A and B are shown apart, each in its own frame.
Chain A
Amino acid sequence: MNLVKKRKVKNIIALSVSVFAAIIGLFWLVFILSSVLVKGISSINLSLFLNDPAPPGIPGGGLRCAFVGQAIITVIATVIGVPIGIFGGTFLAEYGRNKKYTAVISSLADMMTSFPSIVVGVFVYTIMVRPMGHFNGYAGAVALAIIMIPIIVRTTEETLKLIPWEVREAAFALGAPYYKVIKDIVYRSAITGLFTGILLAVARVAVETAPLLFTSFNNSFLTLNPNQPMPSLTVTIYQYAMGPYKEWHKLAWGASFVIVLFVLVLSILGRWIISKRYGSE
């Protein structure tokens, strides 16, 4: 075989390997999604959403309390995390831009977005659960907020930096104070990006498990009081999946189905907004 031919064969082999890798990636995605959707769909019925857990062995139980708990925890986390995240990102992109320590904070935030979430759970356990004396929903919310803040800080910073500097100068030249420039000009220009950032951050923390294990813990009763241990879908899935009962497994699959659907819808929505806003350019 001559050299050129050998090189061509090598080329084809290498490129085929890369196509194969792409197929593997796609395969995992389809495999995971389809098995969750297929196994989960049969557990979807009204009692999943409307009933509270039944004792093992008795059919007809649901996860109403976990849905409610998850929603409450996520909402509180959002209320804490979004303002801090937006303000923090605003500082990095506006008042603090070009400062050395700003770059440090930005890097820290970036690192925190990949940080082990279970360590956040341990941390919040010591600063909230221990002093308060019991597991509670607030602690879970704070843990999720701690995960949410750096994500929003970074997306806010990046989004605001995309707004051309000249537009800010034009507002300054009219005699606008900086906070008005930010509020009226920068935020308005960046609104879609900011919203998408929040959406993706909420979607991400809403399905976290590890940080809730030692904070909001679990509870098999419906509670609206965040000062008590609060059930969540994710922790319930963990508990039920590891448990010995068939009904529990079924409920866990049903909850997984809902979670996957939630994540899919939000991330597709997020991408759609981004492509609608920036894709045409």
Chain B
Amino acid sequence: MNEILIEVRNLSFYYGENRVLKDISMGVSKNMVTALIGPSGCGKTTFLRCFNRMHDLYKGNRYEGEIIYNGENILRAHDLIKLRSKIGMVFQRPTPFPMSIFDNVAYGLKLKGIKKRSEIEAIVEKSLMEAALWDEVKDKLNSPATSLSGGQQQRLVIARTLAVEPDIILFDEPTSALDPIATSKIEDLIKHLKDITTVLIVTHNMQQAARISEYTAFMFRGELIEFDKTENIFTNPKEELTEKYITGRFG
């Protein structure tokens, strides 16, 4: 049996009056890849952004329920800065910061107060290796991050996230802005990430979920319809809705 890193209990979420997530409960297994699938607008992004309290940046948003992590409820956490340094996030489009490749990866370390140059250099190199980018950038660490291609930028963002050693990384459709070759590199990378961390990934692409994840959650209109081992979801779904969705007979 595997260890549960984060446990979601009866989570509901409101944009103002609009209830977008309805009573979701599920567990995210440690050192596994868990995929979130479902039609566009079903609330995948919204769900993902509950884990690092991204919704707190905007007014009028409200959570109900619990997300238990390390024995505490994320939704009651006071120190969001600390929370976010343990829960990494990678966005749909690459988000390189306006600085060099090296400084991008080092940014989170500097936030943590690490000052020693040699320590920073070691972690930057390690993170870039883990993100399978080291060989491509080792000779131009001081070039601006924007000089990289889209796929490289996305792996840079992953390296930046890995550098602070998060317990989990949240991915929101990380390959939807990339070409097929860049996509397959990122997919390979994510498959390997479970050795060092935990992954929760939103994807609009069912094949991708099937290829890279151990667990899959299918969402529909803000509800969690089915959550199971990925192979079960794709070969033997229990719910009719799930079957309809994965066989493409939807709507």
On A, residues with C-beta under 8 Å from B are 98, 166-167, 169-177, 180, 184-185, 188-189
Whether the Cβ atoms of A98 and B59 lie closer than 8 Å is: yes
Q: Is B28 an interface residue (CB 8 A)?
A: no
In the assembled complex, how far is the CB of residue B133 from the closest CB belonging to chain A, in whole angstroms?
17
Q: Taking A175-B82, A175-B108 as given, write out 8 further A-B residue pairs in contact, using a Cβ cutoff of 8 Å, ordered by the A residue number.
A: A98-B58, A166-B95, A167-B97, A170-B95, A173-B84, A174-B88, A184-B97, A185-B98
Whether the Cβ atoms of A170 and B157 lie closer than 8 Å is: yes
Whether the Cβ atoms of A173 and B98 lie closer than 8 Å is: no
Within 8 Å CB of A176, what residues of B? 81, 107, 111
Interface size class, chain B: 20 to 34
Whether the Cβ atoms of B91 and A174 lie closer than 8 Å is: no
CB-CB contacts below 8 Å: B17-63 with A? 52, 54, 57-59
Q: A184-B97, A185-B97, A188-B97 are in contact. Are A170 and B81 (CB under 8 A)?
A: no
Within 8 Å CB of B99, what residues of A? 184, 188
In the assembled complex, how far is the CB of residue A172 from the closest CB belonging to chain B, in whole angstroms?
6
CA distance A180 to B85 in the complex (A): 14
Q: Is B155 an interface residue (CB 8 A)?
A: no
Within 8 Å CB of B88, what residues of A? 173-174
Closest to A180 in B: B111
> Which of A175, A184, A188 contacts B81, CB < 8 Å?
A175
CA distance A172 to B157 in the complex (A): 13
Q: A167-B95, A185-B98, A188-B98 are in contact. Are A175 and B84 (CB under 8 A)?
A: yes
Q: A98-B59, A169-B54, A169-B57 are in contact. Are A174 and B108 (CB under 8 A)?
A: yes
CA distance A171 to B81 in the complex (A): 11
Whether the Cβ atoms of B97 and A172 lie closer than 8 Å is: no
The 9 nearest A-B residue pairs measured at CB: A175-B85, A170-B95, A173-B89, A175-B84, A188-B98, A189-B98, A174-B108, A175-B81, A167-B95
CA distance A170 to B57 in the complex (A): 12
Within 8 Å CB of B83, what residues of A? 175
CA distance A177 to B91 in the complex (A): 19
CA distance A122 to B93 in the complex (A): 52
CA distance A184 to B85 in the complex (A): 17
In the assembled complex, how far is the CB of residue B6 from the closest CB belonging to chain A, in whole angstroms?
16
Whether the Cβ atoms of A184 and B164 lie closer than 8 Å is: no
Q: Mark B85-108, 1 if CB is under 8 A from A, else 0.
A: 101110111010111000000011
Within 8 Å CB of B112, what residues of A? 175
Within 8 Å CB of B160, what residues of A? 174
Q: Is B203 an interface residue (CB 8 A)?
A: no
Within 8 Å CB of B58, what residues of A? 98
Quick one: which of A173, A177, A185 has the most chain B CB within 10 A? A173
In the assembled complex, how far is the CB of residue B67 from the closest CB belonging to chain A, in whole angstroms?
16
Instruction: Jot down 29 A-B pairs with beta carbons below 8 A, ordered by A.
Output: A166-B93, A167-B95, A169-B57, A169-B89, A169-B91, A169-B95, A170-B89, A170-B91, A171-B97, A171-B107, A172-B54, A173-B54, A173-B87, A173-B88, A173-B161, A174-B111, A174-B160, A174-B161, A174-B164, A175-B80, A175-B81, A175-B84, A175-B111, A175-B112, A175-B164, A176-B107, A177-B81, A180-B111, A184-B107
